[in-house]
C-alpha cells in the first residue's frame, strides 16, 4: 500500500481525494486544507484525518507520496518541502509558475530518485493516446503543421473572486486552459521550441487573459497554432481539439473521436483505410476500477501509483515533461529568462528524417 | 412502485453525446428551441413512453411549464428528475469559489452565515439542512408534476462514494421519501462499490441507474463483475448507455440487456421518430 496524503481540497483536490480513496493500492492517510469547515466536516463525515497546516502534516505522518492540488502559486514551495521529505509527488497542473524555480525542482527530485507526475490528464484520454501512437509511428509521414485548440465556458461575466482571476496566483486562461493544449502538442508531435505572434486578450476579466492565440514551431520544421478561449459559452464544458497535418494525411482528435484521413494506407496500421477512419473513445477504452468525471482522472492516478510501486522515476507527465509546458507558458507571457521567446520561426526543411521515415513506411506507394 | 420498462432519456436534448462532439453540436442546434424538444417527447408519448428521466438542466423549467399547462394531454406522464446538472455547479465553483458557489445556489440562510465565519465544524443538522435545501432548489421546477423516482446524478453519487461520505445517501434518501413521497434513485458508474455503500447505511433494494452494455463501456470493474452483481445482489437496476454510444448494433445491444433478467427498466435517448420506434419496439419484443 502506498501511504499517501493530499493537500488542497478545492474542485480538483476533492476529485483526486475520491479517486485516491477508491484506489486499492493506496492508503489515504490524511488530507490538508486551510479551510476549517471543510476539513472538520471531512473528519466527521468521511472519517478522514485532516490537517490545516502542511508542515504539521509532514511532521506527524509517515508517508510515501503526496498529491498537491493547491492553487498554482503555492506549488513550488510545497513541492520543495515534499522533495525534502523524500516523498513521491503528484502535482496538479501547471507545475510551477516560475520556470527557473521549476528547473531546480526537477533536478532535485530526479537526483533523489523520486517519482513525479503532473495532472495533464488529457494524455490519458484514449483518443489522444491513440493519436499520439499513430503519429509517433509515422502514420502521417512527415508532419508539417499542428493546431491546438481549447474552448470553454469558464469566464462569461466581468466578475470573479477566486485565485483564478489573479495572474500572480496562477489565474488566467494560459495557466488554466492553454497549458493542456500545449502539453498535448508536446505529447503528439514533440516539444515547442519557439512562439511568435502572441495575442492575449481579456474578454471579461479585469486582471487576466481570457483568450490567447499564437504561432509556434517544433522540432523537424513543424509549425503550429494555438487558439484558446475560456469565455466561449457555446461549449458545454472544456472542449479540446488537435488537428495535425502530415504529408500522408491528417488527424483530428478530441475527447470523443480520433478521425484519421490517410492518402495512402500504412502497412503498420491495417485498421486504417485509405481516406477516413474514425476511432471512437467507446472502442478504445478498457474499464477502470473506479470512474469519476472521466476515465482519464482515474488512469493518471493509477499510473502514478504503479510508477511509485515500480520506483519509475521517468514516465508520462513527470516533472521534466511538465516543465517544458511551463517553459512555453513563460514564452507566451514573455517572461522566459533565456530569451527564447519571440524567436523567428524557421521554415520547415523540405527533406528530412521524417520524409525518409515516411518513404520507408509507405514504400513506393506514392 | 413499479417502473416502466422503457424510459426516455434527455442527453440528446442538451448537447451531450459520448460518441462525437460534432453530433453533440448538431443536436444542441436542433434542440435550442424548446418546442422541438416537446415535439420529440410527444413522438415518444405517442409510442407509449410515459416516463421522462431528465437532468435538472437550466432548460427543464420551460419543459415542465409545458406539461403543467397541458395536463389533459398527458394525464399519466411521469418525470424522473436527476440532480444536479453538475456543470452549473462546477463552473460556479471555478468562478466564485466553493462558498461563493454554494451561496449563489441557496436562498439566504443562517447556515451559510455559520459557514462563512469559517473554522467551525459543521453540525450534522447543518450538513443535512444544506443537502435538503439543495435538493429542494432543484425540485422547484417540477412543482405539481408527478416525480415518483428522484435521482442523484452519477457525478455526485460517485464523488460521495469515493470520498466515503456514505451518510449523504441516507440523508438524500430520507428527504426524498418524506418530502416528496418518492423513491430515491442513484445513478453511478461504480455499481459494485455503490451497492456496498448503500448496504452500509441501510438503504435496501435501491433503484440504481448505471451503464449496462455488452461492450463494458463505463462499467467500473468490467462486464463480468456487473453480470455477477446482477445475479447475486438485491437492487432495482435501470440500464443506460445500452448501445455504448452507438458502438454496439441496436438489436445486439437490446438483446444483451434484455437477457439480464434482473434489469427492470431501460433508459434511452433518441431524436427521430424512427429511432424511438425501433428501439422501443426492440425492447418490448425482446423483453419476454
DSSP letters, B24-89, are HHHHHHHTSSHHHHHHHHHHHHHTT--EEEEE--TTHHHHHHHHHHTTTT-TT-EEEEEE--HHHH
Residue of A nearest to B29 (CA): A234
At B119 the pLDDT is 53
Smallest Cβ–Cβ distance between B167 and the set A11, A19, A45 belongs to A45
Contact A18 B163 (CB under 8 A): yes
Domains defined for chain B, CATH in brackets: 6-84+147-286 (3.20.20.100)
Which region among A212-216, B11-15, B76-80 has the lowest average model confidence (pLDDT)?
A: B11-15
Res. B17 pLDDT band, cuts 50 70 90: confident
The answer on pLDDT for A181 being more than 70 is yes
The answer on pLDDT for A264 being more than 80 is yes
Contact A290 B220 (CB under 8 A): yes
Q: How far away is chain B from the Cα of A52, in angstroms, using its nearest Cα?
A: 10
The answer on pLDDT for A349 being more than 80 is no
Q: Which residues of A fall within a CB distance of 8 Å from B168?
A: 45
At B110 the pLDDT is 61
Contact A280 B159 (CB under 8 A): no
For residue B27, give Cα distances in angstroms to A167, A350, B53, B249. 37, 43, 18, 21
Q: How far away is chain A from the Cα of B224, in angstroms, using its nearest Cα?
A: 11
Rounded CA separation B57/B70 (Å): 21
For residue A131, give Cα distances in angstroms to A19, A110, A125, A256, B135. 26, 29, 10, 12, 42
Res. A344 pLDDT band, cuts 50 70 90: very low
Grid cell in block for residue B145: 408534476
Res. A91 pLDDT band, cuts 50 70 90: very high
Contact A10 B15 (CB under 8 A): no
Mean pLDDT for the stretch of residues A58-74 = 97
The answer on pLDDT for A364 being more than 50 is no
Rounded CA separation A125/B248 (Å): 21
Q: How far away is chain B from the Cα of A287, in angstroms, using its nearest Cα?
A: 6
Q: Please say whether the structural domain A122-288+318-333 has been given the CATH code 3.40.50.620.
A: no
Res. B117 pLDDT band, cuts 50 70 90: low
Q: How far away is chain A from the Cα of B247, in angstroms, using its nearest Cα?
A: 6
More confident residue, A281 or A225: A225
| Contact predicate B81/B139, CB 8 Å | yes
Q: Which residues of A fall within a CB distance of 8 Å from B161?
A: 18, 22
Smallest Cβ–Cβ distance between A19 and the set B17, B28, B162 belongs to B162
**Residue % of chain B over a pLDDT of 70:** 94
Q: Is residue B137 within a helix (H) or strand (E), and if so which, with residue range? A: helix B124-139
Q: Which residues of A fall within a CB distance of 8 Å from B96?
A: 160-162
Q: How far away is chain B from the Cα of A343, in angstroms, using its nearest Cα?
A: 35
At B120 the pLDDT is 60
Give the B window 79-98 contacts with A, CB below 8 Å.
Answer: 87, 90-91, 93-98
Q: Does residue B137 sit at the A interface (CB-CB below 8 Å)? A: no
Mean pLDDT for the stretch of residues A177-184 = 98
Contact B155 A22 (CB under 8 A): no
The answer on pLDDT for B114 being more than 90 is no
Res. A74 pLDDT band, cuts 50 70 90: very high
Mutating which of B10, B15, B21 best tests the A interface, going by the most A Cβ atoms within 10 A? B21
The answer on pLDDT for A348 being more than 50 is no
Supply the mean pLDDT for chain B.
91
Contact B127 A11 (CB under 8 A): no
At B197 the pLDDT is 97
pLDDT in tens, A42-61: 998 999 999 999 999 999 99
pLDDT in tens, B176-215: 999 999 999 999 999 999 999 999 999 999 999 999 999 9
The answer on pLDDT for A95 being more than 70 is yes
Mutating which of B89, B93, B163, B189 best tests the A interface, going by the most A Cβ atoms within 10 A? B163
| Contact predicate A320/A110, CB 8 Å | yes
Q: How far away is chain B from the Cα of A62, in angstroms, using its nearest Cα?
A: 21
Which region among A120-134, A158-172, A242-256, B243-257 has the lowest average model confidence (pLDDT)?
A: A158-172
Contact B220 A287 (CB under 8 A): yes
The answer on pLDDT for B19 being more than 70 is yes
Q: How far away is chain B from the Cα of A344, in angstroms, using its nearest Cα?
A: 35
Smallest Cβ–Cβ distance between A36 and the set B118, B159, B189 belongs to B118
CATH tag for A2-121 (out of 3.40.50.720, 3.40.50.300, 1.20.1600.10, 3.20.20.20): 3.40.50.720
Q: Report domain extents, chain A.
A: 2-121, 122-288+318-333
Which region among A189-198, A338-347, B173-182 has the lowest average model confidence (pLDDT)?
A: A338-347
Mutating which of B20, B95, B190 best tests the A interface, going by the most A Cβ atoms within 10 A? B95
Q: Does residue B253 sit at the A interface (CB-CB below 8 Å)? A: no
Smallest Cβ–Cβ distance between B220 and the set A153, A159, A289 belongs to A289
Sequence-distant (6+) residues with CB within 8 A of B274 are none
Residue of A nearest to B154 (CA): A292
| Contact predicate A154/A329, CB 8 Å | no
Residue carrying the nine cell digits 455503500: B197
Smallest Cβ–Cβ distance between B221 and the set A236, A241, A289 belongs to A289
Contact B15 A155 (CB under 8 A): no
Contact A236 B122 (CB under 8 A): no
E strand intervals along A219-262: 222-229, 239-246, 249-253, 257-262
Q: What angle do CA A100, A101, A103 make, to 5 degrees?
A: 65
At A350 the pLDDT is 42
Q: Does residue B26 sit at the A interface (CB-CB below 8 Å)? A: no
Q: How many CB atoms lie within 10 A of CB A73?
A: 17
Res. A267 pLDDT band, cuts 50 70 90: very high
pLDDT in tens, A6-22: 999 998 999 999 999 99
The ipTM of this complex is: 0.91
Nearest to A244 by CA among A201, A184, A287: A184
The answer on pLDDT for A192 being more than 60 is yes
Contact A280 B247 (CB under 8 A): yes
Q: Which residues of B fall within a CB distance of 8 Å from A47?
A: 164
The separation between CA B209 and the C-alpha centre of its own chain, rounded to angstroms, equals: 7
pLDDT in tens, B27-66: 989 999 999 999 999 999 999 999 999 999 989 999 999 9
Contact B216 A38 (CB under 8 A): no
Res. A343 pLDDT band, cuts 50 70 90: very low
Mean pLDDT for the stretch of residues A127-150 = 97
Q: Does residue B169 sit at the A interface (CB-CB below 8 Å)? A: no
Contact B93 A11 (CB under 8 A): yes
Q: How far away is chain A from the Cα of B220, in angstroms, using its nearest Cα?
A: 5
The answer on pLDDT for B92 being more than 80 is no
Residue of A nearest to B96 (CA): A161
Q: Does residue B170 sit at the A interface (CB-CB below 8 Å)? A: no
pLDDT in tens, A289-307: 899 989 999 999 999 999 9
Amino acid at each position: 500500500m502506498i501511504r499517501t496524503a493530499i493537500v488542497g481540497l478545492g474542485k480538483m483536490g476533492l476529485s483526486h481525494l475520491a479517486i485516491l480513496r477508491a484506489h486499492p493500492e493506496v492508503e489515504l492517510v490524511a488530507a490538508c486544507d486551510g479551510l476549517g469547515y471543510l476539513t472538520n466536516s471531512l473528519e466527521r463525515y468521511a472519517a478522514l484525518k485532516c490537517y490545516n497546516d502542511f508542515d504539521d502534516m509532514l511532521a506527524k505522518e509517515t508517508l510515501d507520496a503526496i498529491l498537491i492540488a493547491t492553487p498554482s502559486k503555492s506549488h513550488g514551495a510545497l513541492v520543495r518541502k515534499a522533495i525534502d521529505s523524500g516523498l513521491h509527488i503528484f502535482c496538479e497542473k501547471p507545475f510551477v509558475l516560475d520556470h527557473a524555480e521549476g528547473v531546480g525542482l526537477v533536478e532535485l527530485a530526479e537526483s533523489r530518485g523520486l517519482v513525479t507526475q503532473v495532472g495533464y490528464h488529457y494524455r490519458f484520454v484514449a483518443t489522444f493516446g491513440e493519436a499520439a501512437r499513430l503519429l509517433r509511428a509515422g502514420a502521417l509521414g512527415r508532419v508539417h503543421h499542428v493546431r491546438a485548440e481549447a474552448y470553454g465556458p469558464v469566464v462569461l461575466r466581468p466578475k470573479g473572486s477566486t485565485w483564478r482571476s489573479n495572474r500572480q496566483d496562477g489565474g488566467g486562461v494560459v495557466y488554466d486552459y492553454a497549458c493542456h493544449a500545449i502539453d498535448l502538442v508536446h505529447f503528439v508531435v514533440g516539444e515547442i521550441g519557439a512562439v511568435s505572434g502572441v495575442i492575449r486578450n481579456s474578454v471579461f476579466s479585469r486582471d487576466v487573459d481570457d483568450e490567447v492565440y499564437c504561432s509556434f514551431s517544433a522540432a523537424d520544421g513543424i509549425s503550429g497554432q494555438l487558439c484558446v478561449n475560456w469565455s466561449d459559452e457555446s461549449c458545454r464544458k472544456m472542449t479540446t481539439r488537435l488537428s495535425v497535418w502530415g504529408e500522408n494525411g491528417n488527424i483530428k482528435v478530441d475527447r470523443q473521436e480520433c478521425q484519421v484521413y490517410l492518402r495512402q494506407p500504412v502497412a503498420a496500421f491495417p485498421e486504417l483505410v485509405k481516406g477516413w477512419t474514425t476511432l471512437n473513445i467507446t472502442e478504445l477504452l478498457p474499464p477502470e476500477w473506479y470512474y469519476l468525471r472521466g476515465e482519464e482522472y482515474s488512469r493518471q492516478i493509477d499510473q502514478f501509483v504503479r510508477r511509485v510501486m515500480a520506483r519509475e522515476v521517468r514516465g508520462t507527465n513527470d516533472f521534466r515533461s511538465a516543465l517544458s509546458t511551463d517553459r512555453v507558458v513563460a514564452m507566451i507571457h514573455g517572461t522566459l529568462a533565456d530569451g527564447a521567446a519571440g524567436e523567428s520561426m524557421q521554415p520547415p526543411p523540405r527533406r528530412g528524417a521524417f520524409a525518409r521515415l515516411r518513404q520507408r513506411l509507405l514504400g513506393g506507394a506514392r | 412502485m413499479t417502473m416502466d420498462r422503457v424510459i426516455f432519456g434527455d442527453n440528446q436534448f442538451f448537447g451531450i453525446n459520448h460518441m462525437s462532439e460534432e453530433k453533440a453540436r448538431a443536436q444542441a442546434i436542433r434542440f435550442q428551441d424548446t418546442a422541438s424538444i416537446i415535439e420529440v417527447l410527444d413522438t415518444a408519448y405517442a409510442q407509449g413512453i410515459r416516463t421522462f428521466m431528465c437532468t435538472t438542466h437550466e432548460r427543464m423549467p420551460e419543459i415542465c411549464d409545458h406539461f403543467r399547462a397541458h395536463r389533459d394531454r398527458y394525464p399519466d406522464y411521469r418525470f424522473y428528475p436527476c440532480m444536479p446538472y453538475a456543470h452549473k455547479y462546477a463552473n460556479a465553483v471555478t468562478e466564485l469559489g466553493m462558498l461563493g458557489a454554494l451561496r449563489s445556489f441557496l436562498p439566504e440562510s443562517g447556515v451559510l452565515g455559520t459557514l462563512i465565519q469559517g473554522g467551525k465544524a459543521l453540525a450534522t443538522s447543518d450538513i443535512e439542512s444544506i443537502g435538503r435545501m439543495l435538493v429542494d432548489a432543484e425540485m422547484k421546477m417540477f412543482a405539481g408534476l408527478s416525480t415518483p423516482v428522484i435521482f442523484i446524478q452519477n457525478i455526485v453519487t460517485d464523488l460521495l462514494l469515493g470520498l466515503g461520505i456514505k451518510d449523504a445517501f441516507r440523508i438524500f434518501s430520507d428527504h426524498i421519501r418524506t418530502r416528496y413521497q418518492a423513491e430515491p434513485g442513484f445513478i453511478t458508474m461504480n455499481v459494485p462499490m455503490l451497492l456496498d455503500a448503500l448496504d452500509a447505511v441501510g438503504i435496501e433494494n435501491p433503484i440504481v441507474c448505471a451503464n449496462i452494455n455488452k461492450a463494458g463501456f463505463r462499467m467500473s470493474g468490467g462486464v463480468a463483475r456487473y453480470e455477477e452483481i446482477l445475479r447475486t445482489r438485491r437492487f432495482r437496476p435501470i440500464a443506460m448507455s445500452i448501445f455504448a454510444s452507438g458502438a454496439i448494433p441496436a438489436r445486439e445491444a437490446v438483446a444483451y440487456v434484455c437477457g439480464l433478467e434482473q434489469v427492470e427498466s431501460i433508459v434511452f435517448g433518441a431524436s427521430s421518430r424512427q429511432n424511438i420506434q425501433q428501439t422501443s419496439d426492440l425492447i418490448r419484443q425482446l423483453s419476454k
